[in-house]
Amino acid sequence: MRKLAVLGASGHGKVVADTAQCCGWDQVDFYDDAWPGLTRNGNWFVGGDWAAMVARLQDYQGVIVAIGNNTVRHVKLAALIGVAAPVVSVIHPQAVISQYASIGTGSVVFAGVVVNADAKIGSGAILNTGCSVDHDCVLGDTVHISPGARLAGAVNVGERSWIGIGASVRQLIRIGSDVVVGAGASVVSDVSDGAVVVGVPAKVISTA
C-alpha cells in the first residue's frame, strides 16, 4: 500500500489529496498543527501535528506540503528535506506536461494545467487548476500560479511569488521574488522583488 502524508489540512490540501488519489496513492493522511482540535479535512483524517508526522515518516512512501502560504511552505519544505523526508510531487493525470519540461520536488500540478517545452518549475510550486506555463518559463521555488493564470513564453518568476487567479503575464517578463500579482492583472513590464501589482495593465500599489 502506497501511503502519502500531507502537511496542511486546508481546502488546498483537499485538492492535493484528491489529486494524489487520482495518481494512485492508496492512503492519504493529513497532519496539521491545529490538531487535536482539527481531526478531519473533508474526506480525510488528520492524524497529528508536525512533530507527529516527522516521527512517523518511516510509515510513508511520500510526503508533501499542502500549505498555500508560499513563505510557510518554503520553510516547511526545507525542514522536511533537512530530515531526509521522502518528499514527492503530485501531478494530476489530466495535466499536460511537456516531456521537455521539468517539475521540482514537492510541487503540485492540478487538473487542466499545461506546461510547455523547456519550462523549468522549482521545488514546492503550486500550479493550480487550469493555469498555463508556456515554453522556456523559469519559476523559482514555492511559486504559486493560481487557477486560470497564463504565463506566456520565457517568463521568469522569482521564489515565493504568487500570480493571482486569471492573471496574465506577457512574454519575456521578469517577476522578482516575493511578488504578488493581483487577480485578473495583466503584467506587461518587469516587476521588482516584493512588489504588489494589480490592474490592466498591472501597476505597483506597494513595495517591500
The model's pLDDT over 130-185, given as tens digits with 9 standing for 90+, comes to 999 999 999 999 999 999 999 999 999 999 999 999 999 999 999 999 999 999 99
Banded model confidence at residue 66, pLDDT cuts 50, 70, 90:
very high
Q: Is the fold of 3-88 the same as that of 89-197?
A: no
Q: Is residue 180 a contact partner of residue 160, using CB atoms and an 8 Å limit?
A: no
So what's the architecture of 89-197 in CATH? 3 Solenoid (2.160)
Catalytic sites, residue numbers: 135
Question: Strand order in 180-181's β-sheet?
Answer: 90-91, 108-109, 126-127, 144-145, 162-163, 180-181, 196-198, 203-206
Phi-psi region of 83 (alpha: psi -120 to 50; beta: other; left: phi over 0): alpha
Please state which of the four CATH numbers 3.40.50.2300, 3.30.70.2190, 3.40.50.20, 3.40.50.1100 is assigned to the domain occupying 3-88.
3.40.50.20
